[in-house]
Structure 1
């Protein structure tokens, strides 16, 4: 991977992490191999799968021996597994690909072209995505589109630190990231259960994001998906979210940024209550009090949290009648 060639056509490192995705990993890897962009390195980490994932990956790498394959004997956690791949990556740009997601044709060439045309401190190019089920059937789009295929509503771009605090608006697997930014941040935080919100908070404070208005990725929604775990009483996601909210609090500067974070924390208080993690709800409440006095709804939820009411079954019943993506967003 010569520096000269990297200047002409920058290399892209696709880091694919796999955990019990034997039904989907071949399609994910094939979607990388089939890209029309010439300079791609593919690094695959099987993170202690106990199905046939490692076998499928090994068979695939026999056809494409340039693929780097790491097989972990146990699950090291998503963030640590990604960092294993990042340590090997040499591309200017990096894609974090789950082994159950799919890159659509032309994605790499379009995102690289967008990156190379940007002026200023941009760290991420992201796009629209289609959500699919286990069988590959389309469920919904991340951003609704018009007849021309363009997002119907404005998508934040440029300085997105405040929008990042306000809501989940980026479909994570659509991101192409600058490797030097990832390295500067020390990769993903391995003490956390998931990566995206933390990466957004740390990188968006320093760098800009650009939106490419096309559907370039298929994100698969499964009952075992990380995003679906948010409704479980034993989820570890909210504890990580509390840690990220503390990081965000330390990085807020303007009143509107603090207010955006406060609004998000109020929603996390409710989520912690719904999954019966009452101590976390109270800790979110403590953080909220450093920004503002909680409103009456938050005070009510915090008071009910002290009673340890069994509300999770009711919450799950409610979600059955909600839109399909309701539980897919850590919002």
Structure 2
């Protein structure tokens, strides 16, 4: 029996791109459930979504529309609780899945029952869909030029960003077992990767299977600016990671992350957060 896959498409003011994102789900070579969630958009996203659903009455599409903005983490969890799918993809409404993303992911996860996340290579595109670069540099055959770490990735995730989060496919049972996304955080990927990789391996499929859109107004471009809550969330995640480390190598990896984030806090004049990162760093150094 084929594994069931649900793709949760989260939309907030993505009227320009949400139709393309949903279309990329319907274009998969492996049929999936599409759960599209609008988190109280103030543009024309809701109309775009409703019209798209009407135009595809035969497709397996479910929808959720929130009257108040509750944030990505809560919106995702609400959708997650509505499906009994075996595997889950979190698709931002401005990103695009290439046609074999689901089939490649299910093929990998079906034969690796201990794996929590399957991830892939990705292309970065601009607001017009034009190619910028690939996440991992590729050769003429489209294969990554570098060796991509898989298996136990916890230590590496602590110290650096190397997995393109929109490419991830989750094993739903593992994701639900840890309670889904942490709703107290402003963003989800760093935290969820750490929590899942602490107990389970990750697997890599060496193909470009997702297009990640880079926008000037995206969260990642503003994460260190004053008033943005992402850096505060990163501090919370580092504090959680402090309780998870189990070796001297992991301790050093966490310290590298803390030093990096402390520098960013200082550069962007987030001095209270800078002090908090320094205090956490000292606590980590003193841990036996």
TM-score by length of 1: 0.84
Is 1:29 aligned to residue 32 of structure 2?
no
Q: Which residue pairs with 2:92 in the alignment?
A: 98
Q: Which residue pairs with 2:152 in the alignment?
A: 159
Q: Partners in 2 of 1:291 and 1:246 — Cα distance? A: 10
> Any runs of at least 4 consecutive aligned residues in structure 1 with deviations exceeding 3 A, and if so which?
none
Q: Partners in 2 of 1:275 and 1:61 — Cα distance? A: 43
Q: Which residue pairs with 2:181 in the alignment?
A: 188
Is 1:48 aligned to residue 50 of structure 2?
no
Q: Deviations over 1:263-285 (max 9, x none)?
A: 11000001111221110010000
3-state SS, counterpart of residue 100 of structure 1: coil
Q: Partners in 1 of 2:226 and 2:251 — Cα distance? A: 29
> What is the Cα-based RMSD across aligned positions, in Å?
1.0
Q: Partners in 1 of 2:161 and 2:83 — Cα distance? A: 28
Q: CA deviation at 1:292?
A: 2.3
Which structure 1 segments of 5+ residues have no match? 1-7, 294-331
Q: Partners in 2 of 1:117 and 1:150 — Cα distance? A: 22
How many correspondences in the alignment?
Answer: 284
Q: Which residue pairs with 2:231 in the alignment?
A: 238
Q: Partners in 2 of 1:274 and 1:49 — Cα distance? A: 33
Q: CA deviation at 1:231?
A: 3.6
Equivalent of residue 205 in structure 1, options 193, 198, 216? 198
Q: CA deviation at 1:171?
A: 0.4
Q: Deviations over 1:262-310 (max 9, x none)?
A: 01100000111122111001000000001228xxxxxxxxxxxxxxxxx
TM-score by length of 2: 0.97
Q: Partners in 1 of 2:208 and 2:86 — Cα distance? A: 23
Q: Which residue pairs with 1:63 in the alignment?
A: 55
Structure with greater contact order relative to length (CA < 8 Å, sep ≥ 6): 2
Q: CA deviation at 1:204?
A: 0.6
3-state SS, counterpart of residue 216 of structure 1: strand
Q: Partners in 1 of 2:221 and 2:49 — Cα distance? A: 25
Q: Which residue pairs with 1:171 in the alignment?
A: 164
Is 1:87 aligned to residue 64 of structure 2?
no
Q: Deviations over 1:201-226 (max 9, x none)?
A: 11110111001000000000111211
- Contact (CA 8 Å) 1:17, 1:98: kept in 2 or not? yes
Q: Partners in 2 of 1:287 and 1:165 — Cα distance? A: 14
Q: CA deviation at 1:230?
A: 1.5
- Contact (CA 8 Å) 1:166, 1:263: kept in 2 or not? yes
Q: Which residue pairs with 1:107 in the alignment?
A: 101
Q: Which residue pairs with 1:126 in the alignment?
A: 119
- Contact (CA 8 Å) 2:224, 2:265: kept in 1 or not? no
- Contact (CA 8 Å) 1:201, 1:247: kept in 2 or not? no
3-state SS, counterpart of residue 292 of structure 1: helix
Structure number with bigger Rg: 1
- Contact (CA 8 Å) 1:28, 1:101: kept in 2 or not? yes
Q: Which residue pairs with 1:314 in the alignment?
A: none
- Contact (CA 8 Å) 1:269, 1:281: kept in 2 or not? yes
Equivalent of residue 227 in structure 1, options 220, 228, 237? 220
Q: Partners in 2 of 1:165 and 1:152 — Cα distance? A: 23
